[in-house]
Structure 1
Amino acid sequence: MISLPLVYTILALMAYTSSFWYLLIHLVSKREPNHWFIRLVLGLGLVLHAAVLYNDMLTPLGVNYDVFVLMSFTSGLMLLLSFIFSAFRPILALNLIGIPVAAVGLIMGFSLSKQNQFIEQHFLGLDIHIILSLSAYAVLLMATIQAVILWFQDRELKNKQKRLWVNLLPSFQAMESLLFDLIITGFALLTVALVFGFFTIDDFFAQHLAHKTAFSIISWFVYGALLIGHYRFGWRGQKAIRFTLIGFVLLAIGFIGSKFVLEMILGR
Structure 2
Amino acid sequence: MTTLFALISIALYLMAMFVLVGRLFHKNGPNKTFALSLAALGSLTHLLYLAEAIMGVPGQNMSITNVLSLVAWLITVSMLISITVLPNVMLLPGVLGFAALSVAAVLFIPAEHIMHIELQPGLLVHISLSLFAYGTLVIAFLYALQMSYITHRLKQKEATFIHSSMPPLMLVEGILFKLLLVGTCLLIVAQITGFIFLENMFSKLYAHKTVLSLAATAIYILLLVGQKIWGWRGKQVIGLTVLGLALLSLAYFGSRLVREILL
TM-score range, shorter chain: 0.7 to 0.9
State yes or no: 1:202 paired with 2:195.
no
SS in 1 for 2:23: helix
Q: Residues 78 and 218 from structure 1, CA distance in 2 versus in 1: closer, same or farther, beyond 3 angstroms?
A: same
Aligned-pair identity in percent equals: 26
Alpha-carbon distance in structure 2 between the residues aligned to 1:31 and 1:19: 17
Q: Residues 42 and 252 from structure 1, CA distance in 2 versus in 1: closer, same or farther, beyond 3 angstroms?
A: closer
The two structures have a TM-score, normalised by structure 2, of 0.79
Q: After superposing the two structures, state which structure 1 stretch, 191-200 or 210-219, moved more.
A: 210-219
- 1:1-268, aligned counterparts within 5 Å? 3=1, 5-114=2-111, 116-119=112-115, 123-160=120-157, 169-206=166-203, 208-230=205-227, 234-252=231-249, 254-255=251-252, 259=255
Q: Is the 2:16–2:38 Cα contact (8 Å) retained in structure 1?
A: yes
SS in 2 for 1:92: coil
Q: Residues 218 and 107 from structure 1, CA distance in 2 versus in 1: closer, same or farther, beyond 3 angstroms?
A: closer
Alpha-carbon distance in structure 1 between the residues aligned to 2:208 and 2:253: 10
Alpha-carbon distance in structure 2 between the residues aligned to 1:166 and 1:64: 46
Q: Residues 256 and 72 from structure 1, CA distance in 2 versus in 1: closer, same or farther, beyond 3 angstroms?
A: closer
Alpha-carbon distance in structure 1 between the residues aligned to 2:10 and 2:200: 43
Q: Is the 1:215–1:250 Cα contact (8 Å) retained in structure 2?
A: yes
Deviation at residue 168 of structure 1 after TM alignment: 5.1
Alpha-carbon distance in structure 2 between the residues aligned to 1:42 and 1:255: 27
Deviation at residue 107 of structure 1 after TM alignment: 1.7
Query: What is the root-mean-square deviation of aligned Cα atoms in Å?
Result: 3.4
Deviation at residue 149 of structure 1 after TM alignment: 4.3
* Higher RCO (Cα < 8 Å, 6 or more apart): 2
Alpha-carbon distance in structure 2 between the residues aligned to 1:103 and 1:252: 19
Q: Residues 37 and 232 from structure 1, CA distance in 2 versus in 1: closer, same or farther, beyond 3 angstroms?
A: farther
The two structures have a TM-score, normalised by structure 1, of 0.78
